[in-house]
Amino acid sequence: MMQNSPSNQVDDLKIRLNQFLETLDTIEPETADLEEIDRLISLVDDLEVRMGKLK
């Protein structure tokens, strides 16, 4: 199977989404710092790019 097959891309997207959700669960809204927020933004940006590749 090819590295960049649609199936592999979907699996990769699922992994990235799971990472985002896990990161989101660990953040305390009252104490979140800029670094944590930047990490979330980076994960969302990465998800957006990967979703664009699937279209």
Let me know: does 49 contact 22? Beta carbons within 8 Å: no
Residue 3 is predicted with a pLDDT of 58
**Number of helices and strands in the chain (H, E):** 2, 0
pLDDT at 2 over 70: no
* Residue with more model confidence, 14 or 5: 14
Q: Which residue has the tokens 């990465």?
A: 46
Residue 1 is predicted with a pLDDT of 41
Residue 42 is predicted with a pLDDT of 92
Q: What are phi and psi of 51, to 5 degrees?
A: -65, -40
The model's pLDDT over 16-53, given as tens digits with 9 standing for 90+, comes to 899 889 989 999 989 999 999 998 999 899 889 988 88
Residue 33 is predicted with a pLDDT of 92
